[in-house]
Amino acid sequence: MGYTPQIEFYKKRQFGDKINATFTFLRENAWPYIKQQLLIAGPLLLIVNIMMNQIGMDFLGFSEEDINADFIINMLELYGLALISNLITATVVPIVTYSYMMAYQENGPEDISTAMVLRNMGSKFFNLFGFNLISSILIIISMFFFVLPGIYVAVAFSLGSSIILFEKNNPIDALGRVFTLIKGKWWSTFGLIIIMGIIGYVVSALFSLPRTLLYGMKVFTTAVEGGDLTTFADMGTGEQALNIFFSVLETFGSILLYSLMYITLAFQYFNLVERRESRGLMNKIEGMDSVEEEDDDTF
């Protein structure tokens, strides 16, 4: 007999029910899910975190005399690399999240392996990366036509990851599908993003607090003592080790932040699909028909 998940995916849910479903899913799958994120997405997130912190340190490590053509080119290259890294991160984390959720539909949390998650990921990385790239460009273009169109498009595109993973759509089809699903439910989707974004930010900030306190004290002490802030980026061996440790903590916080957001968006996707297509109800009916056929065969 196959595994029956405790949480029904394709189900109509009210606003608060989607948030409750998110925390119920995380509570039931806490370590198995986090372990897969750490193993698959963790190394990439760690590299991005270290890179972004290095950019922040470089801002404190230069003076006006250092600003020249070569400096600007180097900074643009560094920011370009950071943007690409963030784009990849925004692809890997939801892929791991939704690939795990697909495995959860057939296996208990303790039985879900990295191989299962990777198998569900398949070749979807490039589809989702392409979707994120196209949607980012469209959002930027929309922002030029006042801010509101950009916000509307960004909220609609937030369902793209779920569509590509659960429906195996290509980026172009997903672009049209998001507007079909979100029609009439834009505000509820926007509300979920805001609430889970705030909760996730608070959780993530707790893991960033040690670095903030230590570096804040260092900047304050240097300024009070009349030191040169341009030397702030020069770190000794001990500080470099602390920097890596803080990056590990912040990576864990980032995983929790992204997880809260993407899991909630998945339950919003399931809710919208069920309201429009009754996919969960149809699956139940098909399951009942299969049971009846098996019962008939026994007579």
Q: 């950009």: which residue's tokens?
A: 150
Q: Within 13 Å, how many C-alpha atoms sit on residue 20's CB side?
A: 7
* Residue 124 CB burial class (10 angstroms; 0-12, 13-18, ≥19): buried
* Whole-angstrom distance, CA of residue 54 vs CA of residue 58: 6
pTM: 0.83
Q: What pLDDT does residue 115 have?
A: 92
* Whole-angstrom distance, CA of residue 162 vs CA of residue 267: 9
Going residue by residue through the chain, which has 299 residues, state the pLDDT in tens, using 9 for 90 and above: 456 677 899 999 999 999 999 999 999 998 999 999 999 988 888 887 777 776 666 655 555 555 666 666 766 767 777 777 778 888 999 999 999 999 998 888 889 999 999 988 877 888 999 999 999 889 888 888 777 888 999 999 999 999 999 998 889 999 999 999 999 999 999 999 999 999 988 988 888 888 778 777 776 676 666 655 555 555 555 666 777 788 788 888 888 888 999 999 999 999 999 999 877 666 667 555 444 454 455 54
* Whole-angstrom distance, CA of residue 241 vs CA of residue 171: 41
Sequence ranges of the domains in the chain: 15-292
